Chains A and B, each alone.
Chain A
Amino acid sequence: MSAASQGLVRFPVWRARLVLATLAAGFALLGARALYLQALETEFLQGKGDARYSRLIEVPATRGRIVDRRGDALAISTPVKSIWAIPGDVTLSAAQHRKLAALLGLDTRELQKRLDESARDFVYLKRQVSPDTADAIGALGLKGIYQHREFRRYYPGGELTAHLVGFTGVDDAGQEGVELAFQSHLAGTPGTRRVLKDRLGHVVEDVESIRSAQDGHDLVLSIDGKLQSLAFGALQAAVDQHRAKAGALIVVDARSGEVLALVNVPSFNPNNRARLTGAQLRNRVITDLFEPGSTLKPFTIAAALESGAATPATVVDTAPGTLTLARHTIRDVHPAGAMSVAQILQKSSNVGAAKLALGLPPESLWRLYHGVGFGQPPQLEFPGAAGGKLRHYRSWRPIEQATMAYGHGISVSLAQLAHAYTVFARDGELVPLTLVKRGVQVGGEKVISPDTARAVRSMLELAVQPGGTGPRARIMGWRVAGKTGTAHKPDHGGYAADKYVSSFVGLAPASAPRLVVAVMIDEPLGQYYGGAVAAPVFAQVMQGALRMLEVAHDAPLEPLAVPGEGEEAKENT
């Protein structure tokens, strides 16, 4: 044996193999574990990991603004903070408690009461506080008190535009008016996205956008804020002066069909709806119906002219000022004997209108009423737009045909009435109404011939001259055409003797009509003739509107003679 061989210790071969096998087994184990974690358990582990730093956050979307045609805001959503607490986590010193109560505008006891409801994990201390207050509360750095952002809708127009714009509920969904009608256009859809957040809660990386937030679209209404304000002031003053129950007014641009002003009295403040009554909420322009009375006569006369049965000069014998049909008697306030068609409209003769209507086949009368939009809801984007009542001509009895001629036994909304008058303003075309800004002249649907429309228009001009029923509707500088209405209110199946609806519908300038204004005053006390109650409101609003729109004068600028007592005709429908 050599020295080398002596130094070498020969291990058995199995030991080397054992080490090799152990190492191999170790690697195999690691490999298997890796495979297990990476391939089989990966979903669970990824989820655990994500839960530590990945967050889903909501991206808020704002509701669209509503603005008037000048771009002034009528409704805007702006964020406010809601303050909430986890009562179990709140520990307040007496001073902090007082300070918090003062900032929230709560009584200290009230605040304590809310915090004492420790059975609940979550309690609102106050909803919708202003951002300044919320910042001040945040600066106190109180434990267990949190805030989150909500949107609140503000209406700077207040009561002026309350009925038109409507309002939204707490959940930011439209409940009334335009807010409801254009809900899908205005509403935004909040989005969500996945982000990585660090230990301090900062977003460090955007992983994916699951759904992007869609802000609501803005809406430009056809309303003119200044005109709306003028109309509201004039209407409010008239309702107060005549101690009336309510009033309504609408201004329509005859060229584009745009509604420039739409007001209701009594109104309400949409920013504070705590004490709201049904009467305040009623929209008397679009959703309320009334029997229009004499303001319907121009359509009866248009039907007579259109059928060729009469011309403006045709003479109708209205003597003795009454007409009895099946036990019902129709009366005139001013019995006048033989009258021309133009005079029937000027003096608002019920007997004359009834006789003209009875001389026509029911179908042609119905066709005209239906053609100008009565008895069907106007194509107006407004919730609850009323269609009114117009019975089919097959079911008419002669007395109904006669009373309908002067606007009884038929019901319409004020918006429908103004809409119908656009046929006289546009030489026979009925223009579709809209609450959204169009800005362009639009074509209409031909209902009557231009000759008939012009003839009725000049008769309507006569009706506001001294000797007619509405001289108080005249304005300095522009020619006006229009018709008064004084209708008894339907009551318990008949008509109330002392309750009236006074109305006036007119257009100006008569030479090239631009605007149609319709006014309705519900149950005025004392004076009740449309010519005395509604016509002055019309004149005030029309004059202001024409001046605002810079419409050229078509009449000399001379002071108007105040009509004497005998000069003004009165009517009873």
Chain B
Amino acid sequence: MAKLNLLLLAVLVACALGLVTSQHRARKLFSDLERELNRARELDIERGQLQLEASTWGLSQRVERIAASTLGMRAPDPRRVRLVAPSR
């Protein structure tokens, strides 16, 4: 009888420790998840900001101005442009 009791006690202690560990692990994983989600949100925000920046730098007006003034480019004479139809 006493032996059985001791055995049960040991099982109980083991279960309790197991519960504590798994709970701890769950919380740790959860905080990892939380961190990653935050990072995803921040990256999404950054993507938006980069898109914003790209759109601002890439405004046709600005590109045109730089092409014409800094790079000395100009639109070709239409007679020198040949339209090529893509063959399908």
Contacts and interface: CB of A to CB of B under 8 A. Distances in A.
Asked if A and B bind, the verdict is yes
Interface of A: 62, 65, 72-74, 76-79, 154, 156-158, 160, 202-206, 225-226, 229-230, 233, 476-477, 543, 547, 550, 552-553, 557
Contact of A72 (B34, B45, B55, B78): B55
Given A205-B27, A206-B30, A229-B61, A557 B78 contact: yes
Nearest to A551: B83
Contact of B27 (A156, A157, A204, A477): A204
Interface string B17-35: 0000000001100110010
A229 B52 CA distance: 17
Given A62-B44, A76-B48, 7 more contacts: A73-B55, A76-B51, A76-B52, A77-B48, A203-B31, A205-B27, A206-B30
Given A205-B30, A477-B78, A557-B78, A552 B55 contact: no
Interface of B: 26-27, 30-31, 34, 44-45, 48-49, 51-52, 54-56, 58-61, 64, 78-79, 81, 83, 85
B55 A203 contact: no
Contacts of B54: 72-73
A547 B80 CA distance: 13
Given A229-B61, A230-B60, A233-B61, A73 B52 contact: yes
A392 B27 CA distance: 74
A221 to B, nearest CB: 13
Contacts, number: 64
Contacts of A202: 31
Contacts of A72: 54-55, 58
Most chain A CB neighbours (cut-off 10 Å) among B27, B49, B78: B78
A62 B51 CA distance: 15
A78 B55 contact: no
A156 B48 contact: no
A233 B64 CA distance: 11
A157 B48 contact: no
Contacts of A76: 48-49, 51-52, 55
